[in-house]
Structure 1
C-alpha cells in the first residue's frame, strides 16, 4: 500500500487537522507498510490486515462476515448516545455503526498509528470527524489532561453508569496495558466530574447567599481585570501551597522573594508571615467561615501592600478579617455569578482549590514561567498533610490515611518513582491542574519544584534551587491597583439591583410551571397505583401518559435556556445530576415489544416524579435565599416582600 492510496485519506486528514491537529501531523509523516500488510478480497469491503511482526491477521474469518456479526452484537447498544472502543480495525464497522441515528458520538482509541492510517484510507469519515460524531485518538499521545475536555464536552459523564470500553476484537488483546490505561483515564474523567457536581446543594446555596451579600462591596474594589493587567511585576510566578514539603523551601523562597512574583494560597499566608516572607498576592475562594482564621490569626499589619484576590462567594468573616490589604474580587464561573454580567470582575476559580485559582491567574496574566512549591497533593512519608507551622496543624484530622493497602488511593509520585497516597479531594485538585495545564493557550514554562508528593503531568520536575537559578535577579516593583470611579460604582449598583429583580421575576414564573407539571405527575401516578390495586392495568391511558411525558420533556428543555441555567443550575444540579445518572439506564434500555415500551414509559414517569419534586424544591430554595440576601442592601418590589413557598412537601 502506498502513501495517499486514495482521496479518502486526504479528506480524513484535512478534517483531522481541524479537530485533532497533533494526530493529523503524526499520520501525515508516518511511513506505512512497516508493521502491517493489507489484503482486499473480491468485495472491496473485505479488508483484512496482517501483522507482520506477530504473524497474525486482524480477522480470523472473512472480514465482512465478522463485521456483520459485530453489528448484530451491538443491537442492544443502539440506544446508547455515547460509545467507546479500543481499536479501529479496518474502519468499516464504524462507518456502518455511525449510521445509527441514536448514536451521538463514538470514541476510538487506537494503539497503532499505522492501523489508523490504514483505516482512514478505506473509510470516508470526513463528515463524522468534522461534526465530532467520531473522535479518534492515538493512545501514545493520550492522557487525562488531553482527553478530559473531549470526554465531557457534551455531558457524556451523565451516562457514566452504563459506560463500557469495547475492545474491537481479539487481535487487540495483546494491548491489555494500553487498554487498561485508557479505561482508567475515562473512568477518572467521569468520576472527577460527578464528584465535582457534589451530592449536596447546600454549598451552592451558601455560595449564592455570600455572592449576593458581597455584591455591594465587590463593585467598589479594583476589578479582576485590573489585577490581571498589573499583577505581572516579574516574568515568573511562584504558587506557594501548603503541602508537607513547603517548609524545606522557605529559606530559598525568602532569598529570592524580591525578584519573583509570589502568589500564595490563603493557607500558606500565615506560614510565610511567620517566616518573614511577604507574598504579592494571596488567593482565597472557599465559602467557609473558617477561612477567615488565616487572616484573623496573623498580625493585621502584615497585610499591608498585599493584594488579596478573593472570590465573591467567600464568607463575610473572611472579607472583614482583611483590614489593611487591598481586596480585589473575582467571581467563580457559576451560573448565578455569570447572571449578574459583571464581566470586569471575573471569572476565576474553575478549579476547586486556591492553588487551582492561582494557576488560572498566572495563565490569564500571561506570565512566562510558573513554579509550584508545596503542591504535594499527598501524604508525606511520615503521614503529614500540611507544612510545619500550618495554622490547623501538620496532620489535619479531615484527611485520614487508609490502613489497608487495597483501600489506599495511589497516584504516581513526584519524579516517577513509585506511588504516593492521596485523598479524593487532593486527586480532584490534581485533575484540575492537569486539565488546566493541558489547556493552557500559550507556551508557558511550568515547573513543579515541590520535590515530593504527587507527579503533575505537563510540568517539568526541577529542584527549587535549580529552578531559581534560571531567573534573572531584577528587583520587582510593588503591585498597584486602581479602584473603580464613582461613576462606575453607581452604574454597577444600578445593574445589580436590576439583575436581582430580573432573577426573581423569571425564577418565580418558571417555578410555577415546574410545580404544575409535578402535580400532574403526582395525579397520574396515584391513578396508576389505584388501577394496580384493582388489577385493572389494562385501563392505563397511555395516550395521556405520552402527553405528560412530552410535558416533562418541555421542563427538561428549560435546561437549554441560558437564563434558567444561570439562575438555577448550580443549586439543583447535585441531586438532579445524580438522578439523571440513573435515568440513563432507563433511556438506553431496548424495547423489543409493545409491553417493553409501556413498562419503559411507566418507569420513566415514576423516575421523574422525584426529579420534578427535587427541581421545584431547589428552585424555591434559590429564590428564597436570593430574596433574603438582597433585602440586606436593597428594597425589593412589594410583590416579593411576603411571597412564601406555595409548593408544600
Structure 2
C-alpha cells in the first residue's frame, strides 16, 4: 500500500537529502529503532529505543498542544538566523513555522536519520520543505557538518549577529551532547569566518600587485596539480616553532630522507640551525616581512622547495635558487582572475591563516599519511614562552607579533598532558582550523608529537621519538626536491604575448565592472535620499502616511548590497564595509517604525557611499596596474 504522505514529502526534499534517504538501509535499523504508534487522540507518535528502554518523540496526550507550548517560549522578533536542534517528528517545527518571521533563516539539525524518515512517513511537512528560508541538516555529526559547510557563506555570516538557538525537548533529552558539539563547531566556524572577512583594500591591492609581479615565475614553476598524491602513504612532519620545539627538534635528524619534513616559515631557521634539512618551507604572507626577516638574510639550501602563495613578496622567488610551488588560495578572489588568465592548472588550496596551516594542507595534497605535528603548541610555554628560542620571533626587532599575543584574550584549554594550558584567542582559532580540517579526512592518521601545548582534537598523542621509530624505517624513493625536478617540463614555459593580452583583457573586465557598479551606486544613493526626505516630511506632518513606493525602496535596500558582492572579483574590496554596516543594521532590529526606517536608511546611505568611494579608488589603481604590467612585460621581452 502506497504512502502518499511519504511520497509527497520525498518529492519536496532538496537533492542532498534525497540522496541521503536513498542510501538508508530500509531492512535494517530503520524498522527496528523507530516505531510509529497512535497517541490518545489518534495523532502519530514515534517510539524510539533509548538506553535499555524506549522514549516517545512527543506527548501521547496531545502532541500539538505540547508543540504550541514549546513554540510560544521562543523569540521571533529581530531573529535573523535560528538554529533548531531536533525535528521532534515535525510537530514543534510546524508550530514554529506558524510564528517565525519571513526574514528569519532557519536551520534544523536532526541527528537521527531514522526519526527524520519517520517524520516524512507520517507528517505532511511540505510547507517546511518548500520554504526557502528553512533548511534541514540530517545525519551523523560529520554529515551535518558537511551539509552546513555548503550553507556557510557571506550572507549567512551577515545575519549571524542576530542568532537564536533552540532544542526540541526530545533532542535535549537524548542527544544534547551531540548537538552541543555541533553547536560549538558552528560557533567556532562563525568566529573564524568573522576574523577572515577580508583584508583592507590596501592589503588586497598589495596581494594583487605581488601576484601580477610574480606572473612570470608562476608560469615557469611546477604546477600544484602535478604533486597531487605524489607522496601517498608517506609520513610527513609539519614543523612549527612553538616553545616545545626546543626540547625535541634534534630528533628530527633521524627523519630526514625517510619522510617529508615541511616547516612553517618561522620554523625553518630552528631546523637549519640544528642541521635538520627540511624538504619544504611554506610562506603565506604578502607583506615584505618574510623577505626581510628570512630570505634577505639567509642563503637557503638549493634542495629545499618553497611552497608559497601566489601573492608572496616577488623578491622571495627571485632571490632563491630552489624551486617554487606557487599556490593560489581558494577564496582569494582578488587573484583568481589572474590565475584564470595565465594558468591552465585549476588546483587551489585553502591556505588557512598561518604558514603551518599551508604546510598541513600541502601534506594532505601530496597524500601524506600519517601527518605528524611537531612544535605545534598553540599555547604559552614555560615562562610564557611563545616560540622556539632559535626562531626569528626570539629577536628583538620581531617582537611585535609576540607582544600582540600577550595582549590577546587568554584562557585555559586542555593540554596534551591532561592538564590545562594557557592559550590566546588567536591560537585557539588556529587550533580550531586544524580540527575542522582533520574532521574532513577520517581515513588519514594525524599524530601530535609536539610533546607540549594544547590538545588538538582528532590527533593521536605520540612522542616524536616513537613517531620516528614507527614511521621512518625506510628512505623515500626520492625527495620532494628530486620529485619536483623530475616533473619539470622539457619545454620551459614563458609569459607569452597571448597570456599577457589575456591578462590585460581580464583586468579591464574587472575594472569596467567596478565603473558600472559605481554608476549603479549613484542610483542607490538617490533612493536613500528620497527615503530620508519622506521620513523628514512624516516627522513634520505626522498625520500623513509613508507612501507605498517609499516602503518598497526600504525593502529594496535590504538586499541592495548584493549587487556589489555578487561579483567575487570585486566583492573582496568591499565585503569588510558590507559586514561592518550590516552589524549595525542588524542591531537596529525589526524596521517597524518611521524612526527605524530613517536610521537604517542612514546606515545604507553611508555604506553605499563608502562602497562607491572604494570603487573609484580601486579603479584608479587598476589603471595604474595596467600601465605597470605593460611596462614590465615589454621591458622583460624587448631583447628576446
Q: Same fold (TM over 0.5)?
A: yes
The answer for the alignment partner of 2:236 in structure 1 is 237
- After superposition, residues 614-625 of structure 1 pair within 5 angstroms as 614-625=610-621
Answer yes or no: is the 8 Å Cα contact 2:79–2:163 preserved in 1: no
Q: List per-residue Cα deviations over 1:592-619 (Å, max 9, x = no partner).
A: xxxx365554444223111212221232
Answer yes or no: is the 8 Å Cα contact 1:216–1:633 preserved in 2: no
| Alpha-carbon distance in structure 2 between the residues aligned to 1:487 and 1:213 | 14
Moved more, 518-527 or 338-347: 518-527
| Alpha-carbon distance in structure 2 between the residues aligned to 1:120 and 1:74 | 24
Number of matched pairs: 611
TM-aligned CA distance change 1:124 to 1:203, over 3 Å: farther
Q: Within the alignment, does 1:425 sit opposite 2:426 as a pair?
A: yes
Answer yes or no: is the 8 Å Cα contact 2:110–2:136 preserved in 1: no
Moved more, 289-298 or 19-28: 19-28
TM-score (norm 1): 0.80
Moved more, 481-490 or 337-346: 481-490
Answer yes or no: is the 8 Å Cα contact 1:379–1:420 preserved in 2: yes
The answer for the alignment partner of 1:639 in structure 2 is none
Instruction: Give how far 1:124 is off.
Output: 5.5
Instruction: Give how far 1:560 is off.
Output: 6.5
| Alpha-carbon distance in structure 2 between the residues aligned to 1:508 and 1:327 | 36
Q: List per-residue Cα deviations over 1:431-461 (Å, max 9, x = no partner).
A: 2222222234x83322222222222223332
- Please point out which of 485, 490, 505 is paired with 2:492: 485
Instruction: Give how far 1:501 is off.
Output: 1.8
SS at match of 1:376: coil
The answer for the alignment partner of 1:313 in structure 2 is 311
- Please point out which of 598, 605, 608 is paired with 1:612: 608
| Alpha-carbon distance in structure 1 between the residues aligned to 2:233 and 2:62 | 65
SS at match of 1:325: coil
- After superposition, residues 344-355 of structure 1 pair within 5 angstroms as 344=345, 346-355=347-356
The runs of 5 or more residues in structure 2 that have no matched partner are 633-640
- After superposition, residues 196-595 of structure 1 pair within 5 angstroms as 196-197=196-197, 200-226=200-226, 228-229=227-228, 232=231, 235-296=234-295, 298-300=297-299, 302-320=300-318, 322-333=319-330, 334-340=332-338, 341=340, 342-344=343-345, 346-393=347-394, 397-401=402-406, 408-414=410-416, 417-440=418-441, 443-468=443-468, 469-477=470-478, 478-479=482-483, 480=485, 481-482=487-488, 485-486=492-493, 489-522=496-529, 524-525=531-532, 528-529=535-536, 532=539, 535-538=540-543, 542-546=547-551, 548-549=553-554, 552=557, 555-559=560-564, 561=566, 564-566=567-569, 568-585=570-587, 589=590
CA RMSD across the alignment: 4.3
TM-aligned CA distance change 1:20 to 1:448, over 3 Å: farther
| Alpha-carbon distance in structure 2 between the residues aligned to 1:63 and 1:531 | 48
| Alpha-carbon distance in structure 1 between the residues aligned to 2:444 and 2:212 | 36
The answer for the alignment partner of 2:637 in structure 1 is none
The answer for the alignment partner of 1:193 in structure 2 is 193
| Alpha-carbon distance in structure 1 between the residues aligned to 2:357 and 2:603 | 37
The answer for the alignment partner of 2:636 in structure 1 is none
Instruction: Give how far 1:555 is off.
Output: 4.1
TM-aligned CA distance change 1:67 to 1:332, over 3 Å: same
| Alpha-carbon distance in structure 2 between the residues aligned to 1:439 and 1:508 | 41
Answer yes or no: is the 8 Å Cα contact 2:393–2:402 preserved in 1: no
TM-aligned CA distance change 1:262 to 1:200, over 3 Å: same
Moved more, 541-550 or 615-624: 541-550
| Alpha-carbon distance in structure 2 between the residues aligned to 1:505 and 1:55 | 63
Instruction: Give how far 1:470 is off.
Output: 2.7
- Greater relative contact order (Cα 8 A, min sep 6): structure 1 or 2? 1
TM-aligned CA distance change 1:183 to 1:582, over 3 Å: farther
Instruction: Give how far 1:182 is off.
Output: 4.6
Q: Within the alignment, does 1:67 sit opposite 2:72 as a pair?
A: no
The answer for the alignment partner of 1:642 in structure 2 is none
| Alpha-carbon distance in structure 2 between the residues aligned to 1:21 and 1:421 | 44
Instruction: Give how far 1:429 is off.
Output: 1.9
TM-aligned CA distance change 1:125 to 1:463, over 3 Å: farther
Instruction: Give how far 1:168 is off.
Output: 2.4
Answer yes or no: is the 8 Å Cα contact 2:565–2:571 preserved in 1: no
| Alpha-carbon distance in structure 2 between the residues aligned to 1:504 and 1:450 | 48
Instruction: Give how far 1:571 is off.
Output: 1.7
Answer yes or no: is the 8 Å Cα contact 2:137–2:148 preserved in 1: no
Instruction: Give how far 1:559 is off.
Output: 4.7
TM-aligned CA distance change 1:21 to 1:630, over 3 Å: farther
Answer yes or no: is the 8 Å Cα contact 1:49–1:59 preserved in 2: no
Answer yes or no: is the 8 Å Cα contact 1:309–1:329 preserved in 2: yes
Answer yes or no: is the 8 Å Cα contact 1:87–1:108 preserved in 2: yes
SS at match of 1:338: helix
The runs of 5 or more residues in structure 1 that have no matched partner are 637-649
| Alpha-carbon distance in structure 2 between the residues aligned to 1:157 and 1:61 | 41
Answer yes or no: is the 8 Å Cα contact 1:220–1:489 preserved in 2: no
Instruction: Give how far 1:578 is off.
Output: 2.5
Instruction: Give how far 1:113 is off.
Output: 8.3
The answer for the alignment partner of 2:628 in structure 1 is 632
TM-score (norm 2): 0.81
SS at match of 1:164: strand
